[in-house]
């Protein structure tokens, strides 16, 4: 789903204001700033989950949403500015 196609986006925006970082992606790719918003996220994501594809001016940002509308993961690629902030807040271990 794309952000401009889904009326539920406003509900996700409300979650973003208080979204906690439960874990960072540990893939080790230098361009990855992906993080999980829930501890021990289900893998694969449960049926009914969806991905909101954002269209940022730079990089790639996708938001994985569970069937109940809760943000599970925020995939951030090719955004060194966001990666630097996340590295300071919660370094990958």
How far apart, in whole angstroms, are the C-alpha atoms of residue 87 and residue 21? 12
Its pTM stands at: 0.85
**Residue 11 confidence (pLDDT) above 90:** no
Query: pLDDT tens, 16-61?
Result: 888 999 999 999 899 999 999 998 888 899 999 999 999 999 999 9
- Count CA within 13 A, CB hemisphere, residue 45: 17
């Amino acid at each position: 789903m794309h952000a401009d196609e889904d009326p539920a986006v406003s509900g996700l925006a409300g979650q973003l204001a208080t979204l906690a970082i439960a874990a960072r992606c540990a893939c080790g790719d230098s361009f990855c700033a992906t993080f999980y918003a829930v501890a021990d996220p289900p893998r694969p994501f449960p049926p009914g989950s969806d991905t909101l594809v954002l269209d940022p001016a730079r990089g790639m940002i996708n938001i994985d949403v569970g069937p109940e509308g809760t943000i599970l993961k925020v995939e951030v690629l090719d955004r060194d500015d966001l990666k630097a902030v996340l590295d300071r807040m919660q370094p990958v271990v």
